[in-house]
């Protein structure tokens, strides 16, 4: 059944991927739900959503209405798409990043539009 099909029709919480990976396969997902995580609202600004991801170290956040119905989710990729320049893919700034491998510290591409850490 879809995530919105709870008995009450309300969002009940999220399960963190790190917790899913740590728990034994026999553990029920219901026991891993984090019901205390603050939700996102459809009226939150990009700045609010960015701070949300930074504060909670998440890759995805639930968006719920005033009645706690799940409307959807925002991912960190969604946030990056709005923060990076529109033509970043064509800029060549990511050409040095190997697919599927970490870039060692100090070897990351740098240039205009890339923030220093």
User: Which residues, other chains included, contact 74 with Cβ-Cβ below 8 Å and sequence gap of 6+?
Assistant: 40, 49, 60, 61, 63
Higher pLDDT, 52 or 109: 52
CATH number at residue 69: 3.10.580.10
Residue 49 lies in a domain: yes
Question: pTM to 2 decimals?
Answer: 0.64
Q: Please indicate, yes or no, if residue 31 is contained in any of the structural domains.
A: yes
Is 97 part of a structural domain of the chain?
Answer: no
Q: How many domains does the chain have?
A: 1
Q: Which domain does 74 fall in, by range?
A: 17-91
Q: pLDDT tens-digit profile of 10-40?
A: 888 888 888 999 999 999 988 999 989 899 9
In a domain, 32, yes or no: yes
Q: What is the pLDDT of residue 46?
A: 93
60 located within any domain: yes
Instruction: Kindly give the residue spans of alpha helices, DSSP state H, lying in the chain.
Output: 17-22, 46-56, 76-83
Phi, psi (rounded to 5 degrees) for 63: -110, 120
Condensed to tens digits (0 to 9), the pLDDT of residues 61-88 reads 999 999 988 899 999 999 988 888 887 7
């Amino acid at each position: 059944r879809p995530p919105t099909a709870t008995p009450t029709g309300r969002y009940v919480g999220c399960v963190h991927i790190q917790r899913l990976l740590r728990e034994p396969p026999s553990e029920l997902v219901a026991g891993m739900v984090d019901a205390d995580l603050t939700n996102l609202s459809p009226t939150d600004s990009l700045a609010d959503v960015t701070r949300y991801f930074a504060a909670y170290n998440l890759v995805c956040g639930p968006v719920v209405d005033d009645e706690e119905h799940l409307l959807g989710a925002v991912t960190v990729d969604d946030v990056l798409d709005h923060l990076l320049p529109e033509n970043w893919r064509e800029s060549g700034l990511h050409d040095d990043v190997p697919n599927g491998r970490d870039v060692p510290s100090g070897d990351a591409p740098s240039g205009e539009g890339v923030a220093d850490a």
